[in-house]
Structure 1
């Protein structure tokens, strides 16, 4: 699964990397411990009435809350790649509200004799910001729209395989446009949906081979005590 991640890019840097529109968000700065219910940038595409497609960076809350979800209901932070097109919680978003979740890397834990040891899993040397496949939803909140997202996961094929059985579905840059395309993915089991799932499988397997991991300070374990803006949270332990 993916229960915590880091993103050290500024919004303007994300806009440039993902070729999106947008600007500075005064209420978001790089964070090294992003947890469920926190907000983080996502990349999405929308089609206007004239058919033009616009790619943008938007802030969204981690934990998917579709417009039809009941108050107090589940807000899943992860969605299994294998059932994205068929699971009732996700199939509507899969059909037309797909996004990318930029991250520097994510955390997993191992059980040691003296407690839980966090590890940071990230791209290898020179690897740009990782882009995890996700789904998003927008629901009316007063006079504005509240956005939320979930991160797709798959069986681990990366450096985290020895740490946890599942990992985020990371995509190569040449597949971003196909995944973000706001055109409907078709019915579950149909050729369009099957092609998208196959794209996730193939691309994420390739990215997984490039990932690395290292143990980090146990300050990460306590989301309330750790300063999310402390870059030291993702630094490798020296001893």
Structure 2
């Protein structure tokens, strides 16, 4: 599960990873506590010219036939996405990359839940594997109407963070990120990318519980604390 993440690195840092153009529509303000139901930085291939582009997309996968947001999952299980009717087309043809610097998971314990920030040990900007759909039939007054929407793919957790949560977003290396959105990548290789192209080690640290409120959004929110 990934229900919150942070991105403070500039869009140009991610553009360099996949040789992408950056949309002028993008709000590149750093945010340390990004919630679903908001526009976030996503990379995908432009179907018109085949070039990679980075721009805003709505976090919450809205099928192109949906007339409301009752069905708008923020995550999709990578083990079953290719077989689920809701995700199958997107998994095969509409793959995207979600720019991040870390994500946040809550660990359950005897004293309640404790949030942790998690990132690849390399501590550099990276992408989550995602899938996208255009919200073609939402009412005009919805902010995501006519916009690209997305879900983050999740998988089994790496051994070094399995004690925190039983799922993790599929955090891809630079090489795997480029392969993930390559239209020439066949269905048989997609699962291989998610397995072999994921970062192999991660670091994590406990952070302030106020991260549970989306309105709390500052750099101090992800500073290491002494967990209770």
Which band: TM-score by shorter chain?
A: 0.7 to 0.9
Q: Deviations over 1:87-127 (max 9, x none)?
A: 11101111211001111111111234443211101122x43
Q: TM-score, normalised by structure 2?
A: 0.88
Aligned partners of 1:108 and 1:118 also within 8 Å: yes
Answering whether residue 17 of structure 2 is matched by residue 21 of structure 1, we say no
Q: Displaced runs of 4+ in structure 1, greater than 3 A?
A: 23-28, 112-115
Distance 1:181 1:199 in 2: 11
What's the CA shift for 1:172? 1.5
3-state SS in 1 of match to 2:171: coil
Give the structure 1 partner of residue 190 of structure 2.
196
Q: How does 1:11-90 map to 2 (within 5 A)?
A: 11-23=11-23, 25=25, 27-48=27-48, 52-90=49-87
Answering whether residue 101 of structure 2 is matched by residue 104 of structure 1, we say yes
Matched residue count? 222
- In structure 1, runs of 5+ residues without a counterpart are 186-191
Provide the alpha-carbon RMSD of the alignment: 2.2
Q: TM-score, normalised by structure 1?
A: 0.84
Give the structure 2 partner of residue 189 of structure 1.
none
Answering whether residue 221 of structure 2 is matched by residue 233 of structure 1, we say yes
Aligned partners of 1:46 and 1:182 also within 8 Å: no
Cα distance change, pair 12–199 in 1 and its aligned pair in 2 (3 A): closer
- In structure 2, runs of 5+ residues without a counterpart are none
3-state SS in 2 of match to 1:159: coil
Q: How does 1:146-165 map to 2 (within 5 A)?
A: 146-165=147-166
Segment of structure 1 superposing worse, 18-27 or 93-102: 18-27
3-state SS in 1 of match to 2:172: coil
Cα distance change, pair 26–148 in 1 and its aligned pair in 2 (3 A): closer
Q: Out of 130, 133, 137, which is 2:129 matched to? A: 133
Give the structure 2 partner of residue 213 of structure 1.
204
* Structure ranking higher in helix proportion: 1
What's the CA shift for 1:238? 5.4
